[in-house]
Amino acid sequence: MSLSRRTFLTGFSGLTLCSIASSASARVTPRQSLGPFYPQKLPVDSDADLTSVDDKNGQATGQVTRLSGRVTDQSGVPIKNAQVEIWQCDAFGAYHHPRDGGGVDPFFQGYGRTTTDDDGNYLFKTIKPVAYSGRAPHIHMKVIDGLRELVTQIYVRGEPANKGDFLLNAIRNKQSRQSLEIAFEASTDLTESELVARFDPVLG
């Protein structure tokens, strides 16, 4: 299922000014490892809605989350037409990857991609990440703008497991580390069960 343009724009109304103000001297988003579960082969349905799969009649298990943000360079200039990809394990802690058993939830897409609009904005519908063996909950992200590529991981702000996550804590600078920890909050603009989360990647 595709996210409509209307839904896309609604998701960003009111956020643009805030983004411009906060990105004047932005810190480059720290890089994180690609990990072992980047898709070997992209799923047939690889759109920006990870909570349903085209040929399957059901909804993904998990806390539905609208993950949005704006891709900019260090000067705060939005990067349009950047490709943004995310991948994460399903609500049962399994990646939809052969090396991780192929996943448990048949209604979770596991991977999605989209392209930033003219203002650098992107939007995904996915689930709040859950922990799996040895890792704090996280969402993997790759942003490609021509020859520039950022691979990183997004964590849940306030999640106790973050303190023990070896990859997150490999980032020694506290502000850089915290820039990967984002809030997952209830939104009054959306249905009550959905969360919103915002992550603004800064390409160096």
Positions that interact with Fe ion (CB under 5 A): 35
Q: Which is nearer to Fe ion, 46 or 74 (CB)?
A: 46
Q: Which is nearer to Fe ion, 35 or 43 (CB)?
A: 35
Following DSSP, what letter does each residue of 109-160 receive, concatenated?
--EEEEE--TTSEEEEEEE----BTTB-SEEEEEEEETTEEEEEEEEETT-G
Minimum CB separation from Fe ion for residue 183, in Å? 20
Minimum CB separation from Fe ion for residue 35, in Å? 4
Q: Which is nearer to Fe ion, 35 or 39 (CB)?
A: 35
Q: Could you give the maximum distance between any two Cα atoms of the chain, in Å?
A: 46
Minimum CB separation from Fe ion for residue 138, in Å? 6
Minimum CB separation from Fe ion for residue 136, in Å? 10
Strands (E) in the chain, as ranges, are: 64-70, 72-73, 83-87, 111-115, 121-127, 138-145, 148-156, 181-182, 184-186, 195-198, 202-203
CB-based contact 132:93 (threshold 8 Å):
yes
Closest residue to Fe ion, Cβ-based? Answer: 35
Q: Which is nearer to Fe ion, 105 or 117 (CB)?
A: 105
